Structure 1
Amino acid sequence: MRLHQPNLSTIQKEDNTNFARWLLRIGDGDIGVPDESDPHNVSWVQIPERFCIPNGKARLSQLISFIYDEGLLQFPDAGKLQQQAIVCPKNETVDTINNMILKNIEGLQKNYTSCDTATPYSSDGGQTELLYPTEYLNSQNFPGLPPHELCLKIGVLIILLQNLNVVGGLCNGTRMIVTQLLSNLIEGEIITGTRVG
């Protein structure tokens, strides 16, 4: 991962370099105490206090306000949002943080729901609908696919999950700011890559 941060002091640049080296050493398995139950595959790493989110009920709120100040959430700016991101190891945590950010943004919320139905294979006599009712299909949440209910507001950040128009800059991983929410269409401004704006 490469983070672009202009106007850093020499000390800050050195600190970032040391942090990057520390992360690489963890990835290479050079740092950490082997776990007794599985010493070849698992190690315990002591994370320095300055890299940890403080314990408490407001810890995620503190992280969000550290990354995105309130003014940036209320008046999104593509230039500033390009440099901000919260990276999470689990989809569960991503959902929690996204919901908290959504509550902090003013405006009307629009909910989009998927249309899930199981397609019968040949003549199964209606067994597909019995085995896979719509409620069950709507409860499934798979990585790489949007949830059954997608809640958005104008001004929130979204990421494309598949290629729509690679030449036009709409490919998997493109970050955008929502600019308009219609009944069957979400309009956004690209904030990453060569097609910014």
Structure 2
Amino acid sequence: MRLLSAASSDEASRLKEFSSWVASIGDEVVGGPNDGEVTIDLPSDIGDPLRTSVSKIYPSYMNHEELSNCLHDRTILAPTLEVVDEVNQFMMSLDQSQGRVYWSSDSISNSDLTSNGLAEIHSAEFLNKLKCSGTPNHELLLKVGTPVMLLRNIDHSNGLCNGTRLIITRLSDYVLEGQVLGGHKVLIPRMSLIPSDPRLPFKFQRRQFPLVVSYAMTINKSQGQSLSHVGLFLRKSVVSHGQLYAAISRVTSREGMKILVFGDEYDNRSEATINVVYEEVFQNL
């Protein structure tokens, strides 16, 4: 449904072939029948080195104005938060301009302060190292021109909702100025956030700007979007049912998809990856 209409018969044939390949990923046809994980080969024209992929996804990433215009339709996807952070750090390293680091203030939340002496067991240094989905990191490096994503609903009337993407336009001590993509400038304050990660046996509070650098985002965060250019960075294989299909079905043309897969070693590129599909999901459909 997301594939662009073809301008010629040759293009229509290529789109039909790509559409069939995307559907076969979701239906677990590629790689043979298997209830769970199966290794699949990737088309040779889709694989690309990271720096080359970045330049194709963000051809003008050093021009802040042009980057703002293209962020609507472009992104880099990864299966886990750790890999997303890795790609974002790589992108930040390409920008040699002066940046600023903002550190959070972390503490055990008031509801858990009196239970089992958690404040004494879990030091501030320990809490600083925790990374949770939907929560900004303790250390937040930002530069003017950095694309970021909001992690909390702040002001619905001004379009400041969870998932809104902005470009940082000014760095200050207590507030950040950013421009909503294709829209107006807004001010972002620090907020006290309590992560809702069920894996944590306690609750802690992090006071930080509710932002995350968004050159890259997780596959799950991208669901529902239609994008002209998608770079899929598989430093680690997909980890859940239909995750690979969700990633490759974001793009509107085969030419807009670039995939980078690594083996066990970081410099060991691969032309195959894991697809995870469970047959029970399709029962009674």
TM-score normalized with structure 2 length: 0.56
State the alpha-carbon separation in 1 of the partners of residues 42 and 170 from structure 2.
Answer: 42
How far apart are residue 165 of structure 1 and its match? 1.4
Aligned match of 1:85: 75
Task: State the partner residue of 1:73.
Answer: 62
Deviation readout 1:59-103 (Å, 9 max, x if unpaired) = 32222122122x432333232232221111122221111111112
CA contact (8 A) 2:167 2:178 kept: yes
Q: What corresponds to 2:167 in structure 1?
A: 177
User: Post-superposition shift, 1:170?
Assistant: 1.0
Find the aligned partners of 1:121 and 1:168 in 2 and give their Cα distance: 33
The 1:47–1:86 alpha-carbon spacing in structure 2 relative to 1, beyond 3 Å, is same
Distance 1:24 1:104 in 2: 36
SS of corresponding position for 1:72: coil
Q: Which has the higher relative contact order, 1 or 2, with Cα contacts under 8 A spaced 6 or more apart? A: 2
Q: Deviations over 1:114-160 (max 9, x none)?
A: 11011355884992222111011001111221111011100011111
Question: In structure 2, do the counterparts of structure 1 residues 125 and 94 end up closer, same or farther at CA, with 3 Å as the change threshold?
Answer: closer
Would the alpha carbon gap of residues 148 and 167 (structure 1) be closer, same or farther in structure 2, given more than 3 Å must change?
same
Does residue 130 of structure 1 match 2:120? yes
Partner of 1:189: 179
Secondary structure at 2:157 match in 1: coil
Q: Does structure 1 residue 52 correspond to structure 2 residue 42? A: no
Question: Which shows bigger deviation, 17-26 or 150-159?
Answer: 17-26
- In structure 2, relative to structure 1, the CA distance for the partners of 1:157 and 1:21 (3 Å cut) is farther
Change in Cα spacing, 1:14 to 1:122, as seen in structure 2 (3 Å) is: closer
> Does residue 1:31 correspond to 2:30, yes or no?
yes
Structure 1 residue runs without a partner (length 5+): 54-58
* One-letter amino acid of the structure 2 residue matched with residue 23 of structure 1: V
Deviates more, 1:20-29 or 1:128-137: 20-29
Give the counterpart of 2:94 among 86, 101, 104. Answer: 104
Name the Cα RMSD after superposition. 2.9
SS at match of 1:62: helix
Aligned pairs (5 A) from 1:116-155? 116-119=106-109, 121=111, 124=114, 127-155=117-145
Q: Structure 2: 5+ residue runs without aligned partners?
A: 186-285
